[in-house]
Every structure is written in structure tokens, then in C-alpha cells.
Amino acid sequence: MSGRNETSRRRLAQPISRRRFLYGAATALGGLAVTGCGAVSIGGTGRSVDFWNLFGGGDGARLGAMESTFRKDNPDIQLESTTLAWGAPYYTKLSMSAVGGRPPEVAILHQTHLASYAPAGLLEPLDPQLLSEFDIGPDNFLPTILESSKYEGEIYTIPLDTHPFIQYYNTDICKKAGLLGPDDELKPLEGPDAVIEALKKAKEVTGALGLSFYAADSAGPWRLFYTLYGQLEGSPIISPDTREVTVDEEKSLQALEFMVALSQDAEVVPVDLDYGGSVAEFLSGNAGFHWNGDWEVTTYQDADLPFSMVPFPNVFGENHISQADRHTFVIPKQPTKDPRAMEPAFQFISSMLKNSLVWAKGGHIPAYLPVAESEEYRKLSPQSNYVGVADNVVLDPEAWFSGSGSTMEQRASATFQTAMAGRLTPKQAFAELRTMLQEFVDTPKPV
């Protein structure tokens, strides 16, 4: 008895030598590494889908719900969804992953970036037969939308939605400003003066802002300008073969003068709000109106803000033309050549599209006809207010340097913001815009 105590005490008293400690640590780490290998092999049949997207905020929550549905319905497919930051860095990462041979199986791509991805061979062409097997064949989409998914006759993208630039308004503030009709809907605003008048009345009610808009942003001013330019039915700003700058000067100046009038003459919108700030201002009731894409509806609904959404007002023209982009699913160039290997990816895309009513609740206009034409979608309010806009949208010109989050949008936005701040005249801003476009057109194509 005492002998055993003495022995154990002696063993405890002996200090561990450095060599034994290192040896033991290395063995432990090796053991950990080996268990890691085991987990992967036990993991299942190996049908996995890596999905890259850029949906944060309210969109991210909706996406999560749709992904849960997919996981429940497809327990044999392992879904790994990665959300990356919106903007140019997402596109850099996606293209580099395709070039580097380690791309995700499915990714989101804005429609406007197809022109820089498809010619570079970064996407897999999609077989319409195979798509139809998964109920996502060409007949499930409008012909115009389907046409824009193609490059040189091959389908490369499967559209998820169209997200236009629209108008949010605070119903309480607009009621106090006398801008609502007898049905408590916003009275239609036709023409630049009517729009400015309405914003001024809203500003009187709030005492702060008439319009909350993100002028200090790399995309905001571009979207507003492009909407106004589209409403004026300006010519395409770049020729289809991207060799010439064909932007219409007079119409650009009209658009720019309206933007400058908003901030400088009527002073209904500040020029130093960034994206987060503009959402915060509208959310806290400091602004009567908010111009943004359709994706913030969940944010405002969750905060119980009294608001509604309508198509962008007819500042010029009559058809509520507005700037938009489309989210699409693409399959980046895969290292394996087996077409059947893409099946889990198609299964995923199919499930997403069939559940895109959830996505539509987040504000976007679904492209999948079975959902877009369904009763439930027609009943969604306020989303159903702007369904018709999808037929009258203007997308960025098809070029390697354009698209959502591109340098072209960023530079143009910087110029427009400077004009709205009164530091450039509309003529100077237009000159900068044209010079910038010309530089891009002259640059040798990297893709």
C-alpha cells in the first residue's frame, strides 16, 4: 500500500523531459489529423454541392430558408453554401477559382457579368435537355430573359430573378404630406416637377430628408442615372460590338440635371449618405421616400415600418422604365468532364427555383414562370405592385468592363456624386463619363 503510493508519487515528481513532451504532442497532433481523414471518408456517397453567392442581409436570410428546404428534401446531397461580400471582389474570386481549377459547383452571377465570363471560358455551357429533366428547361422562362442567358447560342445561365430600381415610400409621412390618393396608395407622380414637389412635401413633414438615397456609393448614382437615361430612351451607351461610345449627350445632360436639381436646388436629398446610412435613415422615419433596389423589403417589414413599394416614378417617359440586373445561377468551368457530375448542382438549382416564392417575398421578381404566374405570387404585397417593371428594365451594356459592382459603375457613380454635390456641372460630368467610357473601349480586352 505505502509502496504503491511512493512509486506513483515518484513518477509524478519526475519532470517530463522536453523530448518526451514533444514526442507526445506530435503523436497527439498526428492522431487528430488521422481522425480528420476518417470523417471525410465516412461522410457519405460524395455527392456534394459547393455554392457561392453574394447574398447578405435580408437576402441572406431568405436564401438560408430556401437552402434548408433543399437540405430537407435531398438528404443525400451535401450542400456547402458560402456567402462572399457583394461587389468586385466576389467576381475576382469566382473567376480565379474557375481558372485555378477549384471552382464551386454552382455560383450566383449577375446577368450583366455574362459578357466578361462566357468569352473567357469560365462557365460550363448548359444542355437544354438536361435542364428540362430537372424542370428548369428553357420553356420555364420568358423568351426575352432566356435570350439574355445565352452567349453565341449556348445557354450559360439559369435566371433566378430580376431586381429593378424602385421607389419605397413611408405611408405615414406621405399621408401627412397629402400625397396619398383615396385608396391610401401613392398618387402617381408624372414628370420631374411632380416628383420634386412630392419630395419637398415629404421633407416638410419629416423636417430632415425628403428622399433617402445612397449618393456616396459605388452603385447608387449609376443606378439612378441609368434609370433616368433609360426613361428618356437614350441610345445604348456602348455599341453592341463594344468598339464605340454611343452615349447620347443631350439625354445624359437631362438626366444629370435632374439629379443635380434634387440635391442642389430642391435640397431634398443629401449627397454624403452611404448605403447603410440611407437604409438607416428610411428605417428610422427620417425620410419620406427611398430609392433603392427591391431587396430591402424584408428589412423594413421586420421593423414594422409603415411603407409600400411602387415602380420608379415616371420622371421622364411613361413606362416606369428602370435600371435592373438579374441574379442567375451558373456552373463555373469544372475540372471534371463528366456531364453527369453536374446533376447534384442541377438538383440544387431546380429546388431553388421551385422555392423562389420565398425569394420573391424578399422583394425580387422571380424569373421561374411556374412561380411568377402563380396565385400566391400575385397576392404578395407590396411586391406585386411592381411586377410589370420586369418587362421594362434596362440592364448595363454587355461588355467586359460593365455590370453590377464593376469599375465602370464605380467611376461613373463617383462622377455623378461629385455633380450632385455641386462640384461639377452636368456638362463636365458628362465629359468625364464619356472620357471614362472611351478609355474602357480603347483598352485591349483582357478576356
Q: Which of 217, 257, 325, 396 binds other proteins (CB under 8 A)?
A: 217
For the beta carbon of residue 384, count every other beta carbon within 10 angstroms: 14
Q: What is the CA radius of gyration of the chain?
A: 27
Write the CB contacts of 27 (distance below 8 Å, at least 6 apart in sequence): none
Q: Are 90 and 406 in contact (CB under 8 A)?
A: no
Beta-strand relationship, 48-53 and 209-212 = unpaired
Write the single-letter amino acid at 184.
Answer: D
For the beta carbon of residue 7, count every other beta carbon within 10 angstroms: 10
Spell out where 48-91 has E strands: 48-53, 78-83
- Of residues 62 through 101, those in contact with other proteins by CB under 8 A are 87-89, 91-92, 95-96, 98-99
Residue 249 in contact with other proteins, rule: CB under 8 A: no
Least distance CB 444 / other proteins (angstroms):
6
Q: Which of 69, 418, 425, 438 binds other proteins (CB under 8 A)?
A: 418
Q: Which of 406, 409, 429, 430 binds other proteins (CB under 8 A)?
A: 406
Here the contacts of 1-7 (C-beta below 8 Å, separation 24 or greater) are none
Nearest to 238 by CA among 151, 320, 115: 115
Q: Which uninterrupted H or E stretch holds 311?
A: strand 307-311
* Residue 75 or 446 having the CB closest to other proteins: 446
Q: Which uninterrupted H or E stretch holds 292?
A: strand 287-293
Residue 7 in contact with other proteins, rule: CB under 8 A: no
For the beta carbon of residue 158, count every other beta carbon within 10 angstroms: 28
- Of residues 258 through 317, those in contact with other proteins by CB under 8 A are 270-275, 277, 280-281
Least distance CB 101 / other proteins (angstroms):
11
Residue 132 in contact with other proteins, rule: CB under 8 A: no
Residue 407 in contact with other proteins, rule: CB under 8 A: yes
Q: Which of 118, 122, 310, 433 binds other proteins (CB under 8 A)?
A: 122
Residue 114 in contact with other proteins, rule: CB under 8 A: no
- Of residues 28 through 57, those in contact with other proteins by CB under 8 A are none
For the beta carbon of residue 141, count every other beta carbon within 10 angstroms: 19
* Residue 230 or 403 having the CB closest to other proteins: 403
Nearest to 145 by CA among 326, 355, 331, 294: 326
Write the single-letter amino acid at 133.
Answer: E
Least distance CB 240 / other proteins (angstroms):
21
* Residue 256 or 352 having the CB closest to other proteins: 256
Least distance CB 414 / other proteins (angstroms):
5
Least distance CB 439 / other proteins (angstroms):
9
* Residue 131 or 273 having the CB closest to other proteins: 273
CA pair distance 421, 431, nearest whole angstrom: 17
By CB under 8 A, how many residues form the interface with other proteins?
A: 38
Q: Given the rule CB under 8 A, which residues bind other proteins?
A: 87-89, 91-92, 95-96, 98-99, 116, 120, 122, 216-218, 270-275, 277, 280-281, 400-401, 406-407, 410, 414, 417-418, 421, 423, 443-444, 446-447
